């Protein structure tokens, strides 16, 4: 399937236009200027003509007209007001009746010729060896050759030998195909924001089921925001059994640890909070914060607190000359301070177990 997609790959239209311009229209443009250059005398074109100049000029004009009439990507040679089209028309006139060229047309051709020499140094009559998009096409050919070494249904088990050769954006997309735990994906640098964690959260929650069918059903169910609880669906309710509590705790622990290590100074995004609430409900609790309080002993809260304090200091030092910028900054600082207060309260609870029974309220996560 991957090989079929690679075989069907086509460069973007804009890149195809650039390739066509560099390989076809630019050489034709320079060839027309070279024909005009042959007629230059005292720095002005169309002054003297070699013996076979008109015949060669007609052949070039005919060849270009034929190329323009074919299916092309670039609209430049079709535009009547383009330099290419005007130069072609003046060259065709010079091949038939040079006396019909006006002073303005001769001056136009001279300006094009002089400007091109000034910009390029010399006329380039041949297509360049390297065209735009060649690096992409070569990489695809190289990838196809490598994929042929793998069994069709086996997949790629190790990206180490070739991953470093990919450009950074492509490398990141290739790494996204990895299957692993949240900690493994985070170690690869794939989870660097809560938005990415929010996308992965349903897969983590679906992993608490022993039944693969239930797991797949939950992933499909969680793709849309529904008011109905998963276990309340008619085809699920009749045989529903809560997942193993240990697996629920592991999933919640993975999500919380990843959240707090990536951006502990931020509130949980809506999607992540919804998945944590689902785990808490299956664990027999009404609020996912209760589950988080039970699991917080597994985390290095001092590191998260340092992250929050660093973020608060950074935000307070941020220059915000406009009122709306100050409002947004103050909102981010307030959220981070609320998070920091929660983590500090958890550290105090760990140090003094008696304080757990005294506390009546806790800051939001």
Three state DSSP letters for 303-360: HHHHHHHHHHHHHHCCCCCCHHHHHHHHHHHHHHHHHHHHHHHHHHHHHCCCHHHHCC
pLDDT of residue 202: 87
Q: How far apart are CA 350 and CA 345, in angstroms?
A: 9
The DSSP output letter for 41 is B
pLDDT of residue 354: 33
- Beta-bridge partner residues of 44: 41
At residue 80, the 3 state secondary structure works out as coil
CA-based R_g, the chain, Å: 34
Alpha helices per DSSP H over the chain: 2-7, 13-20, 26-37, 53-69, 83-96, 103-120, 134-147, 160-163, 168-175, 182-187, 194-206, 212-222, 234-237, 245-263, 270-282, 288-295, 301-316, 323-351, 355-358
Q: How far apart are CA 340 and CA 329, in angstroms?
A: 16
* Cβ-contact 217, 233 below 8 angstroms: no
pLDDT of residue 87: 92
At residue 44, the 3 state secondary structure works out as strand
- Beta-bridge partner residues of 41: 44
Q: How far apart are CA 23 and CA 277, in angstroms?
A: 60
Residue 218: both structure tokens together: 């939950």
Residue 167, Cβ density class (10 Å: 0-12 exposed, 13-18 middle, ≥19 buried): exposed
pLDDT of residue 361: 35
Residue 363, Cβ density class (10 Å: 0-12 exposed, 13-18 middle, ≥19 buried): middle
The ranges assigned to domains in the chain are: 12-120, 183-299, 302-365
- The tens place of each residue's pLDDT in the chain, 365 residues long, gives 667 777 777 888 888 888 888 888 889 999 999 999 999 999 999 999 998 999 999 999 999 999 888 878 888 788 888 899 999 999 999 999 988 999 999 999 999 999 999 888 888 888 888 888 888 888 888 877 777 776 666 666 566 666 666 666 666 666 555 566 777 776 766 777 778 888 888 888 888 898 888 888 888 887 766 667 888 888 888 888 889 999 998 888 888 888 777 777 777 788 888 888 899 999 888 888 888 777 766 566 777 788 788 888 888 888 888 888 889 888 888 888 888 887 777 665 554 443 333 333 333 44
């Amino acid at each position: 399937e991957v090989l079929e997609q690679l075989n069907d790959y086509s460069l973007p239209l804009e890149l195809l236009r650039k390739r066509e311009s560099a390989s076809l229209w630019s050489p034709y443009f320079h060839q027309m200027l070279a024909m005009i250059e042959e007629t230059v005398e005292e720095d002005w074109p169309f002054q003297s003509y070699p013996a076979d100049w008109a015949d060669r000029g007609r052949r070039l004009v005919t060849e270009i007209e034929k190329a323009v009439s074919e299916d092309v990507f670039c609209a430049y040679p079709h535009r009547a007001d383009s330099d290419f089209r005007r130069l072609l028309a003046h060259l065709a006139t010079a091949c038939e009746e040079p006396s019909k060229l006006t002073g303005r047309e001769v001056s136009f051709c001279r300006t094009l010729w002089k400007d091109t020499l000034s910009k390029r140094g010399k006329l380039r009559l041949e297509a360049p060896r390297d065209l735009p998009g060649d690096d992409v096409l070569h990489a695809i050919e190289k990838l196809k050759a490598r994929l042929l070494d793998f069994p069709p249904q086996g997949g790629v088990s190790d990206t180490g030998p070739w991953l470093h050769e990919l450009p950074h954006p492509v490398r990141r997309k290739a790494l996204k195909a990895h299957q692993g735990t949240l900690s493994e994906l985070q170690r690869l640098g794939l989870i660097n924001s809560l938005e990415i964690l929010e996308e992965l959260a349903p897969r983590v929650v679906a992993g608490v089921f022993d039944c693969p069918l239930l797991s797949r059903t939950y992933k499909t169910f969680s793709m849309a925001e529904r008011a109905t609880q998963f276990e309340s669906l008619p085809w699920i309710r009749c045989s529903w059994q809560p997942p193993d509590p240990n697996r629920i705790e592991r999933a919640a622990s993975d999500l919380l640890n990843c959240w707090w290590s990536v951006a502990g100074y931020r509130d949980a995004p809506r999607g992540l909070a919804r998945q944590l609430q689902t785990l808490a409900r299956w664990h027999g609790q009404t609020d996912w914060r209760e589950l988080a309080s039970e699991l917080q002993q597994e985390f290095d809260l001092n590191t998260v607190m340092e992250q929050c304090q660093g973020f608060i200091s950074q935000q307070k030092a941020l220059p915000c000359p406009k009122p709306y910028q100050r409002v947004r900054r103050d909102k981010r600082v307030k959220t981070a301070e609320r998070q920091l207060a929660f983590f500090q309260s958890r550290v105090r609870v760990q140090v003094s177990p008696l304080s757990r029974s005294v506390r009546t309220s806790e800051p939001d996560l």
